[in-house]
Amino acid sequence: MSLKVHHTLLLTGAAGGLGQALRSRLKANCSVLRLSDREALGEAQSGEEVVLADLADAQAVEQAVAGCQAIVHMGGMSVEGPFGPILQANILGVYNLYEAARKQGVKRVVFASSNHVTGYYRQSDTITPAHPPRPDSMYGVSKAFGEDLSRMYFDRYGIETACIRIGSAFAEPKDRRMLASWLSFDDLHRLISACLTTPVLGHTIIFGMSDNAVAWWDNASVRHVGYVPQDSSDVFRDAVYARTPEPDLSSPAVQFQGGGFLLAGPFGL
């Protein structure tokens, strides 16, 4: 059961894949779910508000944030690509979001970080949130920036943040790598709900994964969040093995946790 501890909750990136998966689920967490994206979102449904805003537009972001008590920030670029769009959406955009939160008195943010902040650890490693970042891409660098920025806004202004290093959030695992990194949509919602309702969040980095038997990440140090995953990639293991080839152990995409992101690019501006 989700507690409605916030009257109005802002979901950025609501038109994206995870935003669409969360749109119906997050209504259980608030009285009013405000949806924001630069893309069309359709008509507001019962219990919803719709606000169009480009994250690079500071004024539009502040208007989207005004009147909210908490933010679930899923907006921005979610893949590797040219640095220019990443700079606008993921670096300038997250700065605009935290400045708006500061000005509007919002004290809790759930920030969609990424496992690509630590993509250059090997798949044979098990790491914790205390391990230093090792970004695998410009996208990973942008998410590391967001984690650092949110830390400063917590230390200076008291804005609590959960930086969720999302693994692979899909309906089911697509390949063998995702047997370790998979995060079900329902577990993503459980994790966000825990971050929104834990009494003291502080500034917390937590890996977003389901209860997978194969795991590279250890969340034992962040039990204060109260996240208990209930799904597992294990039920998909036979099907994944049957439809995928043997891994090429010489490939960086197989050696390192970041997978295919290590092979993307280079891109220009």
Active site residues: 139
Q: How far, in Å, CA of 196 to CA of 211, rounded?
A: 20
Contacts of 134 (CB under 8 A, 6+ apart): 117, 118, 119, 120, 121
Please answer whether residues 100 and 70 qualify as being in contact, where contact means their C-beta atoms are separated by less than 8 angstroms.
Answer: no
At 17, list the tokens: 């894949």
Please answer whether residues 88 and 140 qualify as being in contact, where contact means their C-beta atoms are separated by less than 8 angstroms.
Answer: no
The SS3 assignment for 110 reads strand
Q: How far, in Å, CA of 68 to CA of 29, rounded?
A: 13
Q: How far, in Å, CA of 172 to CA of 233, rounded?
A: 7
What are the angstrom distances between the C-alpha of 220 and each of 5, 113, 216, 226? 25, 19, 13, 11
Task: Choose among 240, 180, 182: nearest CA to 215.
Answer: 180
β 108-114/182-183 pair status: unpaired
The total of other beta-carbon atoms located within 10 Å of residue 193's CB is 21
Q: How many Cα atoms are found within 13 Å in the side-chain-facing hemisphere of 102?
A: 16
